[in-house]
Structure 1
Amino acid sequence: MKTLIILIPFLLAFWLSSVIIPVIYVVSFRKRLFDPINHRKVHGNIIPRLGGVSFAPIQCCLMTLAVVIFHKYNFLNDLHLNTGEILPMFLMLTTGLVMLFVVGLADDLIGVNYKFKFFAQLIAASLLPLSGLWINDMYGVFFITSLPMWFGMPFTIFVTMLIINSINLIDGIDGLCSGIIMFSSFILGVLFVIEQAWLHAIFAFITTGILLPFFYFNVFGASKKKRRIFMGDTGSLTLGYAVAFLAISFSMNNADIKPFSEGAIVSAFSTLMIPVLDVARVMWVRKLNGRPIFQPDRGHIHHKFLDLGLSHRRTMIAIILIAVFFSLFNIISVQYISNNIVLALDLVLWILFQVSFDIIEKRVKKNKLIAVEETTN
């Protein structure tokens, strides 16, 4: 029975996404709704950018349907869930998804000022603490345990906005954003199943289900009638919000969501470590070079891989494998060693990776320069 509770919403999400995305593709072509081509883009052909239009409606409809059915027929009571505590969180999640869906769609169609997008993200992020969902425990990270409300709520808003923007900025090559979120939601779904937090697990697997067909059309669509499609800001903003909700829910010390777990906060956010660390690195480099930290450039990790000569697909696979490594490493490690040691190891590994990457990048550029000089001579 519990397997069906997870499997049916997942399969419905997969089927609906498979049906809706081709329709969006056709409409985008007929209305000429394509992703603009500029110096920062890695594609040179016209490609529809509204694939993400399918995400939030499917998530909201299936999640609402699941909650109503389970509540109406007392499934939630059988699962020993405190509906009075959990349902407000999902209501605010749905509200936030709708807000970001509208803003993202407007940005994809006509363009939206970044200040307005930032304000919309702030409002949507504020809905989570308003519903009672906020980071109230650091589980000993930086030797901090419980967080007071006056700090935990603003901190949750900051973390939510950081994740939303990290996901939005890493959406630079085919399959990268959808692949990372698909993996992240799947891992979090499994963790929620282990903790028997069934409603959160359902939402996680719904998110996984909607991304599988999109990943296919985004990565492999070019090989079949050239039906490639991008998710656009409509997709990246709502996906960032959804996975932030899941990560914060798993990290919150709340027995009504799941049992207490010492390594919860590290396990929850390790699936998002690569996007967040990449954004932090890019902004730090921009600040050191005296450039505005929000000014777009080609400094993200996927740009660096591409500049080394890797193909889009190999770059995507490499980054997802790195994300998988960090996530599994952290989830397993926190069972045996403290959160602070795990995070310290993460930082050391990330720095070693960046240093090694920079050395390889310099060698490649040097070899290219030598090759050009030899050709010229």
Structure 2
Amino acid sequence: MFLILSALIVAFIVSISTIKVLLPLAPQIGLVDLPNERKKHDGAIPLIGGISIYTGVLIASTLFIEQSQIVNLYFISSALLVFIGTMDDIYDLNVAPRMIFQGIVATLMVFGAGIYIQDLGNLFTTGNTNIGNYGMLFTMFACVAAINAFNMIDGIDGLAGSMSIVSIASIAILTLLNDNSADILLPLILVVAIIPYLFYNVSTRNPRGKKIFMGDAGSMFMGLTVVWLLALSTQNTPHGQAAFRPVIALWVIAVPLMDMFAIMLRRIRKGVSPFQADNGHLHHICIRLGLTSRQALQVITGLAVLCSLIGILGEVLLVDDWLMLVGFLLLFIVYSYALQHAWKFVRMFK
């Protein structure tokens, strides 16, 4: 317990100290977010949240988590994403370099750390579905998808951070329920390292009114972290036993995943690039319905918590894999339909 508490204190102190150091430096190097037709905030906001979270997690993990190839590759992969994300925050890169770096990171995860999803669980009531080496390609796709899901959902104050905390905390709870307390330190460190960022991003009482954003560096780092933890937690590997079933992972990451795929389908149907930014995400719809940014954050976070609770209860009650999958697919269909026809709901409520 003392070890865990010490690690969490270090993660918090390093994270908030990094913010204080970078706040005056960010404007000098152009690491700020400027308002435009899609971004309605006031003034230049430092994009340093992701760097502060990564630094806090890195230092605390180096001091308190036993080093291994998997841990080292996780931080190397994360550093690559934080780097390209920071470059994107400064220079507004196009899609190509970001996708290249995401592909490199996915390759490191699968072929370097040897982490990939091959057992999909008993989805068809005929025994566990094992896709063997195809799991490498599947995991690389899942890795890139998760990175972009968290990147795309980062649209209002506190949303990406809240989604990250919900997913990572859910993984920690599921791990504990499996009596595997040795693997919860990294998730706990991650959750605590995010708290200072949320304080500066969302709180109206942050020091001297300073405000920061997570930036692409942070949202991509969060996406990689969640998919890395999910892959480790749902598969039996030489590094440890699965903590919960693969289908539960869909519920743990439900809101970012559904929002990404629904919005990309809508863009493709309109004949535009699936990576072209627009104002059709769930948080945009909530605001058009008349909610404030804070109210939209509360509603979407509540939805994420509800989905995670369904996943946790499904694991505890041993609900059949196929039933959990069908439930998720039905939820996605409803979600996608609502997003595709959001203008009807906006007009109805107005």
Same fold by TM-score, threshold 0.5 exceeded? yes
Q: Contact between 1:174 and 1:218, CA under 8 Å: does it hold in 2? A: yes
Give the counterpart of 2:49 among 21, 44, 51: 51
Aligned counterpart for 2:313 among listed residues 321, 328, 332: 332
Q: Structure 1's 154 and 356: CA in aligned 2 closer, same or farther, altered over 3 A?
A: closer
Give ranges in structure 2 of 5+ residues lacking alignment.
Answer: none
Q: Structure 1 CA distance, aligned partners of 2:73 and 2:250?
A: 21
Is 1:231 the counterpart of 2:229? The answer is: no
Decide whether the 8 Å contact of 2:12 with 2:196 is kept in 1: yes
- Out of 58-67 and 139-148, give the one that drifted further: 139-148
The Cα of 1:102 is off from its aligned counterpart by 1.3
Distance 1:289 1:34, change over 3 A: same
Note if contact 2:252-2:311 (Cα within 8 Å) is conserved in structure 1: no
User: Which protein shows a greater Rg?
Assistant: 1
CA distance in 1, matches of 2:203, 2:156: 13
Question: CA separation in 2, counterparts of 1:222 and 1:172?
Answer: 21
Say if 1:166 and 1:213 are closer, same or farther in 2 by CA, change over 3 A: same
Change (3 A) 1:351 1:155: closer
1:347 aligns with 2:329: yes
Deviation at 1:319, TM superposition (A): 0.4
- Return 5+ residue gaps in structure 1 as ranges: 72-86, 369-377
Q: Which residue of 2 aligns with 1:296?
A: 277
State the shift of 1:307 in Å.
1.2
Q: What is the match of residue 146 of structure 2? A: 163
| 1:364 Cα deviation from its structure 2 partner | 3.9
Contact 2:95–2:275 at 8 Å: present in 1 too? no
Aligned residue type for 2:120 = M
- Change beyond 3 A, Cα 1:293–1:30: closer
Give the distance between the partners of 2:81 and 2:346, measured in 1 at CA.
41
d(CA) in 2 for partners of 1:281, 1:360:
12
Whole-angstrom CA distance in 2 between matches of 1:182 and 1:114: 27
User: Does residue 103 of structure 1 match 2:84?
Assistant: yes
In 2: Cα distance, 1:32 partner to 1:179 partner: 26
Retained in 2: the 8 A contact 1:197–1:257?
no
Q: 1:342 to 1:139 in 2, by over 3 A?
A: same
Distance 1:103 1:286 in 2: 25
Deviation at 1:4, TM superposition (A): 3.1
C-alpha distance in 1, partners of 2:307/2:60? 31
RMSD: 2.4
Contact 1:55 1:235 in 2 (8 A): yes
2:103 to 116, 122, 147: 122
Specify the SS of the correspondent of 1:101.
Answer: helix
**CA 1:62/1:224 → structure 2, altered by over 3 Å: closer, same or farther?**
closer
**Distance apart, 1:153 and its partner CA:** 0.9
Secondary structure of the residue aligned to 2:208 is: coil
Query: In the TM superposition, what is the alpha-carbon distance from 1:23 to its structure 2 partner?
Result: 2.4
Separation of aligned partners in 2, 1:154 and 1:364:
40
Question: Contact 1:9–1:205 at 8 Å: present in 2 too?
Answer: no
Q: Report which stretch shifted further, 283-292 or 341-350.
A: 341-350
The alignment covers a number of residue pairs equal to: 347
Alpha-carbon spacing, 1:339–1:119, altered in 2? closer, same or farther (3 Å): same
Write the letter of the residue equivalent to 1:349. L
- How far residue 101 of structure 1 moved from its aligned partner, in angstroms, is 1.5
Once the two structures are TM-superposed, the CA of residue 298 in structure 1 deviates from its matched residue by 0.8
CA contact (8 A) 1:274 1:323 kept: yes
Asked whether the 8 Å contact 2:283–2:296 carries over to 1, the reply is yes
